A and B are shown apart, each in its own frame.
Chain A
Amino acid sequence: MSKMPEGNEFSWKKRPAVVQVKEADLPSSIPAQTGLTFNVWYNRWSQGNSGKERFVNPYRLEPELHEGLTSGDKAGQVYFCLYFSKGMCCRGKKCDYLHHIPTEDDIVRLSLKSDVLDCFGREKFADYREDMGGVGSFRKKNRTLYIGGIAGALNNKQLKSSQIENRIRFVFGKLGAVERVRYVEAKNCAFVKYKHQANAEFSKEAMSNQTLLINSDKEWAERSEGSGLLVKWANDDPNPEAQRREKIEQEEESLQVMLNLLKKSQKVITGSTNATAGISSLGKKRLLEPSEAVLENQTSIFRSIPVSALNKLKKRKQENTNTLPQKERVQNLSSLVDYPSSEED
C-alpha cells in the first residue's frame, strides 16, 4: 500500500462507480406544491407565496464510497458529473461524466480546455452574480469559497468555534487539496481556499445545501428541518497581510510567465524559418534554460501544475502541428485563422 510516495495511487481507479441513488428512489423533479399553477419554464410554482427556498440535500457525496470509473473515463471525458458531486447520480458506471474528485491530472487536462467553462462544463460569466453564487466569473481565478448559513446547517446546535472549524475542515478537506481554512467566529462564516480552482468549483456544488451535522449528533434525525450550507464565491480578502501575500504570489507568477514566454518565443523562432527579421535577430541570444530538475519545482501560470507536465503536453501539441503543411503553419502563426469556406456556409 505504501509503495508509491506520490499521490498517484487512487483506489477508485480499480473499481466501477457505484449508483449513488436508484432512479426509482429519486424525488420528483417537481417541487412540493406552493402555488396554484406550475411554471414549466422555471420549474417553479407560481401564484402563491413561494414557500421556503432553502432546503437540506438528503443526499451527500461520500468520496471513499462513491468514486469510481465511468464510461466517461473510457471516452476521455474531462468534465465531472454535477449529480455525482451532489451525491445523487443514478447512472453509476454508465455515466458519461467523471465520478471522482478532481485530481492533478484532471486539472492539467481541464486547463487545456477553455478557461470559460467550469469543471462541470458549464459556461462562466463575465461578472459574478449579485449574491456571489452560481457558476462564477471567467475574469478572475477564484479559489476561495465563502461558507455561510452555518447556524442553519447545524440546526442551531451550539458548538464551540473550534468544533465548527473542525467539521468544515473535515468535509471540505475531502474534496481537494486545501490551502487554508479560516473560520470567523464573529460573523459565523468560514473561508476555504483550495489549491486549484477546479476543486473549489467542485466542492461549491458538492457542499451547497448540505448539513454540518454528523451521525452522532442527537439532531441528526431532524437534519432536513434545518437549512443547508450556503456556499458562494469569496471576494478578495481585505486583510492587508493577505493582500501582500497575494501580491507576492502574483509577482512570482508573472516572472514565471515571462520565463515561459521567452522559451516559447525561442521555440517559435527555431521551429519556423519564416520568422521576421526583427524576431530572428532576437533569437540569436541564447537563453538560460533551467535544467530539468529546476523545471520540476517550478509552477506554471495554471497554479501549481508542474511545468514539466505542461511541457509534455505542449510537446505533444507541437508534434501535431509539425505534421501540418508549411503553408498552414504560417497561417497559424499569424493567429487570425484563415477560413477557407465561403461566407454563406
Chain B
Amino acid sequence: MNQPAICETCLGDQDRLTRAANGAQCKICTLPFDVYHFKSHGAVAKTVICLNCSKQRNICQCCLLDLQWHIPVEVRDRVLSIVQGSDVATSEAHNDMMKRFIALKDGDSFKLGGAKVTSDAEATAAVLSQIRSILDNANPSQPAKALPDSATASSQTESAANKANFPDVDVSHLLKRLPIKASLEPAPAFFLYNIDPSVPEWAIMDKVAELVGTANWHDTHSTAVAINHAARCGGIRFKSTDLGHKFAETVPRFTTPSGTVKGVMQLRNSRIHIVAWPQFNRAAMGDKYAECRKLGLCLDQIVQKDLSTPSKAPSKSKKQGKVAKQSIGLLKNKKRKRRVLDIEL
C-alpha cells in the first residue's frame, strides 16, 4: 500500500487518481516512479517526484512544499535554523549517481534537513511552542524594527569602509550636472537622493503613485524612473507637467539650514530627499561603480549638512507632522552615532 503524499491544497476534494506505473522520472532522484494524475481546480495535476524523495524531505509530491507547514523547503530550513540555533539545511546532490544513492535510503527512517522535525508531530509542536516564545520575547513590532537597525548598522560599516576606498575618484563633473543646489519646485522631473540600497524601485514608484493619486504617472516614451542604487540616488519623470506640479505640492517638505525647501519621502528605513531636476539625465548619476559609490558619499554629506543644525528645526511636513519630526530626530541621533563611529575607526 503506497499512497501518494499529496497535500490538501493540491488535491482539493478530489478522491479519484489515475496511476501510471513507472510513468516518469523523479525530478529529484531521476529514478522512475509511479505517477498519479488527478483533476483539481479545473486542471490536470500530476506528481513530479517519487514517494521516497517526498518522504525524505517531507514534501508534497505535487507542489514540493512542506507537508506540515505548506512552505518551501528552503524557508522551512531557515525557520528551523533560527529556532534551533544550528544550521539546518536540506543538502541536495548534484551528480546523478549521488542523487540515486541518496534515493536508495528508506524515506521512513532517513530524513533530510528540516524534515526530521516536520515529519514528527511532537517535534513540530515543540518547535511551534519555541517559535511562540521567540516571538513573544521579541516585542510584537520586532520584525519591523529589527530591520532598520541592522540596515543602518550595515550602512555604517559600509560608509566607514568606503570613505577610505575612493579618495582619488573625481565626481565633480557629475556633481556639476546634478541639481544639488536646487529646491523643491514644480517640474516635470525630480531628483531623489539618500535612497537606501535596500529600497526597490517599485516601492518608490508605488509611493509616488500614492502621492499623486494615479498609477500611470510616469512617462511612457522614455525611461521614467532610473534609480542608481550604488550612488543612492535616482530620478523620476512625470508624464505631464500637471502631475509634476501635483507631486511637488503633495510631497512633505522641510527647510534646510541654508534656507532651501526640499521634499522628503519616508520609505521603509530611508528618508528620500527630493528636489526638482528638469534636465533629468541618467548619465549624470555615474557609470562606473567606484564613481557611483563616491557620488553616493558626496550626496550623503549634503544630506548631513541639510539635517545638521539642530537650532533650526525642520518645518512641519503636511501629512505626518509629529511623526515626521520624531523620525527626523531619530535619524539625527543615528547620524551622530555614525560620526562618532567614524572617528573611532
- A309 contacts B by Cβ under 8 Å: no
On chain B, the residues within 8 Å of A221 by CB distance are none
Q: In whole angstroms, how far apart are the Cα atoms of A41 and B41 in the complex?
A: 33
Evaluate whether A253 and B5 lie within 8 angstroms (CB atoms) in the complex, with A115-B65, A290-B140 already known.
no
On B, residues with C-beta under 8 Å from A are 1, 3-11, 13, 15-19, 27-28, 41-43, 45, 48, 62-65, 67-69, 71-75, 78-79, 82-83, 92, 94, 121-122, 125, 128-129, 131-132, 134-136, 140, 142-143, 146-147, 150-151, 154, 158, 197-198, 200-202, 205-206, 209-210, 212-216, 220, 222-227, 229-230, 281-283, 285, 287-288
Q: In whole angstroms, how far apart are the Cα atoms of A163 and B62 in the complex?
A: 45
Q: Select one of B8, B16, B202, B288 contacting A195, CB under 8 A.
A: B202
Please report which residues of chain A, range 236-288, place their CB below 8 angstroms from some CB of chain B when the two chains form the complex: 241, 244-245, 248-259, 261-262, 264-265, 276, 278-279, 282, 285, 287-288
Judging by beta carbons under 8 Å apart, are A138 and B64 in contact?
yes
On chain B, the residues within 8 Å of A178 by CB distance are 200-202
Q: In whole angstroms, how far apart are the Cα atoms of A264 and B16 in the complex?
A: 28
On chain B, the residues within 8 Å of A338 by CB distance are 3
Q: In whole angstroms, how far apart are the Cα atoms of A276 and B122 in the complex?
A: 10
Evaluate whether A259 and B154 lie within 8 angstroms (CB atoms) in the complex, with A179-B201, A265-B128 already known.
no
Question: From residue B269, how far is it (CB to closest CB) to chain A in Å?
Answer: 10
Interface size range of chain A in the complex? 35 or more
Q: Known pairs A282-B125, A288-B135. 10 more at Cβ < 8 A?
A: A2-B212, A5-B209, A6-B215, A114-B10, A114-B63, A162-B282, A173-B224, A250-B78, A254-B82, A258-B134
Q: In whole angstroms, how far apart are the Cα atoms of A255 and B4 in the complex?
A: 31
Evaluate whether A241 and B197 lie within 8 angstroms (CB atoms) in the complex, with A5-B215, A177-B205 already known.
yes
- A7 contacts B by Cβ under 8 Å: yes
Judging by beta carbons under 8 Å apart, are B75 and A257 in contact?
yes
Q: In whole angstroms, how far apart are the Cα atoms of A147 and B318 in the complex?
A: 43
On chain B, the residues within 8 Å of A180 by CB distance are 200-201, 227, 229
Judging by beta carbons under 8 Å apart, are A332 and B8 in contact?
yes
Evaluate whether A160 and B283 lie within 8 angstroms (CB atoms) in the complex, with A114-B45, A116-B63, A241-B197 already known.
yes
Q: Select one of A140, A244, A254 contacting B79, CB under 8 A.
A: A254
Q: In whole angstroms, how far apart are the Cα atoms of A301 and B69 in the complex?
A: 12
On A, residues with C-beta under 8 Å from B are 1-2, 4-9, 64, 76, 112-116, 123, 125-127, 138-141, 160-163, 165-166, 169-170, 173, 177-182, 185, 193, 195, 241, 244-245, 248-259, 261-262, 264-265, 276, 278-279, 282, 285, 287-288, 290, 301, 317, 320-321, 324, 332, 335-341, 343, 345
